[in-house]
Amino acid sequence: MKRSSILALLLIAVLALGFAGLASAQDAAPSGDLEIFSWWTGGGEAAGLEALIARFSEMYPDINVINAAVAGGSGVNARAVLTTRMLGGDPPDTFQVHAGEELNALWVAAGLMQPLNDIYEANGWMEQFPQGLLDLISDDAGNIYVVPVNIHRSNVMWYVPANLEAWGVTVPTSWDEFVNTTCPALQAADITPISIGENWTQVHLWESIALGTLGVEAYNGLWDGTTNWTSPEVVHTFEVLGQVYDCANDDMNALTWQDASQRVANGEAAFNIMGDWAAGYFLVDLALEPGTGFAWAPSPGTDGVFMMLSDTFGLPVGAPNPGAVEAWLSFLGSAEAQDLFNPVKGSLPANTTADISNPDLYNAYFQSAYEDWTTNEIVGSLAHGLVASPAFSNGFSNIIATFQSDRDANNAAVTAATLALQTLR
């Protein structure tokens, strides 16, 4: 045989083997590495993610899951790493992102996410996830881009019922009542009326105040341009924030959100506004009983409104192992996965077929929150990326930080108006 024909034969053999390999890879169960990128590194979040990964590895033993979580800064550091990796053309297989503008204004608008409608239809999720939530994670053409894992509520006010009784105050139903009645009464008794933590918890507080004083329609109008940022009503939200600062601990910049919540549990402070991840903190870390050890109400003026945020995962364009990602996402949206993750993390399941009525999984707080989630009006959170782009959020953090030192409500509103012009769509 001539040497060239031997070479040709070899080449054909190699090609044939290669195709066979490809074909079998498509048929067989997904395998290889699956890199999951998130900022869940501590407490219930990390435990929930680990529980998910453990179950997923049982189902797909061939997939090697890499938990690429980046710690710190409520996701700021993780997003910095993620942006760098995406810009460098090295996307992780799947990454955590908040539903809403954080997803839409950047990743979807840049065309870097793949539609997941096939997965939704194959699993029958179109009927299992609430329509309002699906709207937040899809574009105008109806393409759905991510799978939500959980639902959190942002506008919750926490307190200890026995303490309130001892101090002779009731849960305020409006910010006027809080500032004019509740706060002086508590200050006279030498109790901190409300505990506040570092900068982002103050943005979180402002969104509750804005929702409570502006109402749903005007609050939503801030983000679609129908509410004027310099109107007296919006200036008033900053004025109220200033009055609430006057009712708060003066070491707020030294406290994390856990420190601030703990002041309520310790009886040093009466109220705290925080998302419902605080329920997990009260329950697990401080071992308090829901209803007696700690209790909750919608933040003042927001009864009947559910300010939500949601963590989701998607499939970026250019993910190294899309087959494994599809298996992961199909698992993530299932009722089984949501019931594994949410009771540990301390959040509501996004999938409506989850076993929410099971008291072994979801405690009294989540039973009541789920009731609200299905009946209340839904709005999106600013501090957690639902209603505004990252550029707006960053600028707004600076505005709140500046306001905290100069207390100039007019200036804050005017600056926010300029920022909104530059950064909101």
Partner 1 sequence: MHNRRDRLIAVLMVLPSIVLLAIFVYGFIAITAQTSMTDSNAMQRLSRLPANFIGLQNYTDLFSGPLDTRFRVGIVNTVFFTAIFITVCLVLGMLLAVLLDQKIRGESVFRTIFLFPMALSFVVTGVVWKWLFNPNSGINYLPTVIGLPPAQFRWFISEDRILEFNWQDLPTILAVIALSAAAMFTLWFAVKRKSRPAIYGFVIVMILSFLIFSGATGSMNALPNPEQHGFNLALIAVVVAAGWQMCGYTMAMYLAGLRGVSEELREAARVDGASEFGVYRHVVFPLLAPITLSAIIILGHISLKIFDLVYVMGGGDNLRIDMPGLNMFFETFRGQNFGRGAAIAMVMLLLVAVVIVPYLVNSFRSEAKRS
DSSP H helices, 198-357, are 199-224, 232-246, 257-266, 277-280, 322-332, 335-345
Pairwise CA distance, residues 195 & 262, whole Å: 9
Pairwise CA distance, residues 333 & 417, whole Å: 38
Stretch that binds partner 1, among 8-16, 213-221, 370-378, 409-417 (CB under 8 A): 409-417
Stretch that binds partner 1, among 114-122, 132-140, 145-153, 412-420 (CB under 8 A): 412-420
Residue of 44, 79, 299, 324 interacting with partner 1 (CB under 8 A): 79
Identify whether the C-beta of residue 317 lies closer than 8 Å to the C-beta of residue 111. yes
106 touches partner 1 by CB under 8 A: yes
**Residue with the two structure tokens 């679609």:** 224
Name the minimum Å distance from CB 118 to partner 1: 24
Stretch that binds partner 1, among 28-36, 225-233, 282-290, 417-425 (CB under 8 A): 417-425
| Distance set, CA 179 to CA 174, 201, 369 (Å) | 9, 19, 26
Q: Which pair of structure tokens corresponds to residue 129?
A: 């996830």
411 touches partner 1 by CB under 8 A: yes
- Crossing angle between the packed helical segments 322-332 and 43-59, to the nearest 10 degrees: 120
The answer for 301, left when phi > 0, alpha when psi is -120 to 50, beta otherwise, is left
Q: Whose Cβ is closer to partner 1: residue 202's or residue 347's?
A: 202
31 touches partner 1 by CB under 8 A: no
100 touches partner 1 by CB under 8 A: no
Q: Whose Cβ is closer to partner 1: residue 187's or residue 368's?
A: 187
Q: Which of residues 165-224 bind partner 1 (CB under 8 A)?
A: 198-200
Stretch that binds partner 1, among 46-54, 72-80, 166-174, 207-215 (CB under 8 A): 72-80
139 touches partner 1 by CB under 8 A: no
Stretch that binds partner 1, among 109-117, 187-195, 234-242, 344-352 (CB under 8 A): 109-117
Count of residues in contact with partner 1, rule CB under 8 A: 41
Q: Which of residues 238-257 bind partner 1 (CB under 8 A)?
A: 250-254, 256
Q: Which pair of structure tokens corresponds to residue 375?
A: 């009946």
Comparing CA positions, the residue from 114, 92, 90 lying closest to residue 103 is 114
Q: Which pair of structure tokens corresponds to residue 361?
A: 């999984």
Identify whether the C-beta of residue 80 lies closer than 8 Å to the C-beta of residue 374. no
Identify whether the C-beta of residue 314 lies closer than 8 Å to the C-beta of residue 116. yes
Residues that bind partner 1 (CB under 8 A): 73, 76, 79-80, 83, 86-87, 105-107, 109-112, 198-200, 250-254, 256, 390-391, 393-395, 397-398, 401-402, 404-406, 411, 414-415, 418-419, 422
